[in-house]
């Protein structure tokens, strides 16, 4: 009987090829989209963690409220003590201070007159300590395009785009004009030793990277930092653990609201609660469910219709089979068996093709830099797909299920056929 | 050749509801068909031939009265039991052949045996034997689309008789055939009736078929008007 059914499937293309192609393309798109959306989300999360918030982030309460403004006058003080406590309490995270600041970068000519100027967004990180966690988190050496990474105090890197705009060459002097933590004017000379490109439009437009100690000195922030970030040693965001770390910290540093220093008490947030990422991730999650759902529903409807069309086209065949003495349930089960076979083959082939495309885009990525040129989101120019264990089953199981349920629904008509009408039906 | 009846009906009625009214398709049919008979149900359109064939074929049930096929009451059979009865004991031949177009002649004939779960070697032997009976042993690998109308109907006959059923039911088997093919088909079935002692029951109004029948049951308005054996005549 199996050979009989297989022969029917192989010889009757409309019984096999059309449903097979439907399942194939439906599953391919589902697999690819899941991997692509997953890759994009992972990229955003990873970039946000590396370049902005870490996996957890310590700030003063006042700073946290105005974090987008980079209010260094509200920065943390007593950072060394805080860091010692954090490293002791939560050694599974790398802890490092950062200062985000704004300013004007002035490039003098040979007569020390201004040749070019531009506003910059600066990031001060620990570039010089031999055991700096930033070697793992930010790793500026990988991002250097021209010149080299700073190796001594007074050296900075500027974004390649900014360098091109201001015609800065490695070795040039640059003056940072900013304000100190206490509101005084700050003018500090640095040597630009290299240019860098992180591959993220929002980071590359006007970025300056300096060592945290240099900026502490320049902005009069002794033992201060805008924030302390914590980054899981395996580089992966563990939400439950991050929540636990933050809850423990916030309990230890719970401030009395009426205290005059309450605004400067440290508070810890997690990656998900920073930068509106929570809403974004929820939105993307919902969006990916909708996208995959739409494909599955569309596939189910098409296959259901294919099943109905097939049942009509095979009306005579099914009638003969019933007349000859095949039980209705047996006919129904053979239709299900045919669809199961088509579902499994189509879904397997679709999954394989989807994985191939996804793997290709995981390795090579897709450059969206030109589309994102005005974006302030921390999304890399090269977005890569990301294949996870879920990618292997997200198309396969629903593909088989959609094929089976489409046939199951359309095949119910068999039970409605009256054998007493078979002679009439088969002779019309 | 003839022994206990294979088909017995008693006071058989079949009524169809047509909106507010009812249509009596069969009215008090008393009938017995024995093994080896070559019998035809004849009559004009609407006389109840196909309805009676449906009931004898366990495709329908009477409204009242009884119909027994091989000692089993049709009206008490479940769908599954009726399907099993058709599969094991009855063969069907249709006016429009109804071969499965994607399968070869061999596979078409083989299908009823697949349902019976007969093992491959025996199945092959039975199909080859059936095709030899209808003179199509050399067309086993052909597709129905490659056959003439007469050849297609002979394949349908092979499919009906391959499992050596007790009764073959044929509804207007020559309606789509020319005269020469009609005679050929009837001679083939007559030969099978003689060689295999298979009972054939026809529903027909084709004079060419009637000429071959050993027994002719004439239906008029759902009643048996005449029941004649070849060579004599008797009124029911």
Summarised one tens digit per residue, pLDDT across range A16-45 is 888 889 889 988 988 998 888 888 888 888
Beta bridge partners of B216: B40, B228
A427 and B53 within 8 Å at the Cβ level: the answer is: no
User: Confidence band (pLDDT; 50, 70, 90) for B2?
Assistant: very low
- A322 close contact with B: CB closer than 8 A: yes
Which residue has tokens 């009242």? Answer: B64
Nearest CB to B86 within list A324, A328, A427: A324
Residue B122 is part of a domain; what is its CATH number? Answer: 3.40.50.300
Nearest to A266 by CA among A123, A96, A49, A83: A83
Give the mean model confidence (pLDDT) for residues A215-244.
91
Specify the pLDDT at position A84.
Answer: 93
Specify the pLDDT at position A3.
Answer: 84
* Number of Cβ atoms within 10 Å of the Cβ of B187: 11
A102-149 confidence digits (pLDDT tens): 999 999 988 888 899 999 999 999 999 888 898 888 878 888 889 999
A427 and B96 within 8 Å at the Cβ level: the answer is: yes
Residue A212 near residue A124 (C-beta atoms within 8 A): yes
Specify the pLDDT at position A19.
Answer: 85
The chain A residue lying nearest B86, using CA atoms, is: A325
User: Confidence band (pLDDT; 50, 70, 90) for A414?
Assistant: confident
Q: ipTM for the complex? A: 0.83
> Which pair of structure tokens corresponds to residue A418?
């009256």
A419 and B60 within 8 Å at the Cβ level: the answer is: yes
- A2 close contact with B: CB closer than 8 A: no
Beta bridge partners of B9: B31, B67
Give the mean model confidence (pLDDT) for residues A181-194.
93
Specify the pLDDT at position A427.
Answer: 63
Q: Does residue B19 belong to any structural domain of this protein?
A: no
Give the mean model confidence (pLDDT) for residues B122-149.
91
B79 and A316 within 8 Å at the Cβ level: the answer is: no
Over 90: is that where the pLDDT of A64 sits?
A: no
Q: Does residue B156 belong to any structural domain of this protein?
A: yes
A423 and B94 within 8 Å at the Cβ level: the answer is: yes
Residue B21 near residue B28 (C-beta atoms within 8 A): no
Over 80: is that where the pLDDT of A269 sits?
A: yes
Specify the pLDDT at position B236.
Answer: 41
**Disruptive mutation site among B41, B101, B102 for chain A (greatest number of A CBs within 10 Å):** B102
Calpha distance B132→A232 (Å, rounded): 80
Nearest CB to A323 within list B80, B92, B102: B92
With left for phi above 0 and alpha for psi between -120 and 50, is residue B231 left, alpha or beta?
left
- What is the tally of structural domains in chain B? 1
Q: Which domain holds residue B139?
A: 36-62+78-229
Specify the pLDDT at position A377.
Answer: 57
**Disruptive mutation site among B85, B100, B107, B161 for chain A (greatest number of A CBs within 10 Å):** B100
What is the share, in percent, of chain B residues with pLDDT greater than 70? 96
Calpha distance A288→A284 (Å, rounded): 6
A325 and B98 within 8 Å at the Cβ level: the answer is: no
Q: Report the gap between the CA of B226 and the closest CA in chain A (Å).
A: 24
- What integer best gives the mean pLDDT of chain A? 86
- B159 close contact with A: CB closer than 8 A: yes
């Amino acid at each position: 009987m199996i050979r009989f059914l297989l022969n029917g499937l192989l010889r009757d293309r409309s019984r096999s090829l059309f449903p097979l192609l439907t399942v194939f393309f439906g599953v391919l798109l589902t697999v690819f989209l899941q991997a692509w959306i997953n890759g994009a989300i992972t990229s955003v999360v990873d970039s946000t963690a590396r370049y902005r918030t870490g996996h957890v982030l310590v700030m003063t309460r006042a700073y946290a409220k105005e974090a987008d403004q980079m209010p260094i006058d509200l920065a943390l003080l007593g950072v060394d003590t805080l860091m010692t406590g954090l490293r002791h309490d939560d050694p599974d995270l790398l802890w490092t201070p950062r200062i985000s600041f704004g300013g004007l970068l002035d490039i003098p000519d040979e007569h020390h007159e201004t040749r070019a100027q531009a506003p910059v967004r600066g990031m001060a990180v620990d570039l010089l300590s031999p055991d700096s966690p930033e070697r793992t988190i930010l790793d500026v050496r990988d991002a250097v395009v021209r010149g080299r990474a700073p190796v001594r105090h007074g050296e900075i890197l500027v974004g390649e785009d900014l360098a091109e705009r201001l015609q800065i060459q490695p070795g040039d002097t640059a003056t940072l004009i900013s304000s100190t933590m206490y509101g005084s004017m700050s003018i500090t000379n640095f040597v630009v030793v290299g240019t860098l490109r992180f591959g993220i439009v929002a980071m590359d437009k006007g970025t300056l990277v300096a060592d945290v100690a240099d900026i502490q000195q320049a902005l009069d922030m002794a033992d201060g930092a805008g924030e302390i970030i914590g980054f899981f040693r395996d580089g992966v965001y563990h939400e439950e653990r991050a929540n636990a770390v933050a809850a423990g910290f916030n309990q230890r540093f719970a401030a009395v609201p009426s205290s005059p220093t309450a605004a400067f008490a440290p508070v810890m947030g997690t990656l998900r609660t920073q930068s509106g990422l929570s809403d974004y991730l929820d939105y993307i999650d919902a969006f990916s469910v909708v996208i995959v759902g739409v494909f599955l529903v569309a596939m189910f409807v098409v296959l259901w219709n294919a099943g109905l069309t097939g049942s009509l086209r095979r009306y005579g065949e099914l009638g003969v089979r019933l007349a000859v003495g095949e039980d209705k349930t047996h006919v129904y089960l053979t239709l299900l068996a045919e669809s199961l076979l088509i579902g499994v083959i189509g879904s397997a082939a679709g999954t394989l093709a989807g994985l191939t495309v996804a793997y290709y885009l995981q390795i090579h990525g897709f450059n969206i830099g030109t589309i994102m040129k005005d974006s302030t989101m921390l999304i890399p120019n090269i977005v890569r797909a990301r294949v996870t264990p879920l990618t292997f089953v997200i198309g396969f199981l629903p593909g088989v299920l959609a094929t089976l349920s489409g046939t199951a629904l359309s095949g119910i008509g068999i039970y409605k056929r009256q054998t007493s009408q078979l002679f009439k039906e088969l002779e019309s | 050749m003839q022994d206990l009846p294979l088909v017995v009906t008693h006071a058989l009625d079949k009524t169809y509801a047509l909106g507010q009214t009812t249509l009596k398709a069969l009215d008090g049919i008393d009938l017995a068909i024995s093994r080896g008979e070559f019998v035809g149900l004849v009559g004009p359109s609407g006389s109840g031939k196909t309805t009676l064939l449906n009931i004898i074929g366990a495709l329908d049930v009477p409204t009242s009265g009884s119909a027994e096929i091989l000692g089993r009451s049709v009206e008490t059979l479940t769908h599954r039991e009726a399907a099993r009865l058709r599969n094991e004991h009855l063969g069907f031949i249709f006016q429009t052949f109804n071969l499965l177009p994607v399968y070869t002649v061999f596979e078409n004939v083989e299908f009823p045996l697949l349902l019976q779960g007969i093992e491959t070697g025996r199945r092959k032997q039975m199909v080859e034997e059936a095709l030899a009976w209808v003179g199509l042993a050399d067309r086993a690998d052909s597709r129905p689309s490659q056959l003439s109308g007469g050849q297609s109907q002979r394949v349908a006959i092979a499919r009906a008789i391959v499992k050596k059923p007790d009764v073959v039911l044929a509804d207007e088997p020559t309606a789509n055939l020319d005269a020469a093919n009609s005679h050929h088909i009837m001679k083939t079935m007559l030969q099978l009736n003689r060689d295999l002692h298979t009972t054939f029951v026809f529903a027909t109004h084709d004079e060419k078929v009637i000429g071959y029948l050993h027994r002719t049951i004439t239906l008029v308005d759902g009643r048996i008007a005449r029941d004649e054996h070849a060579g004599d005549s008797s009124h029911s």
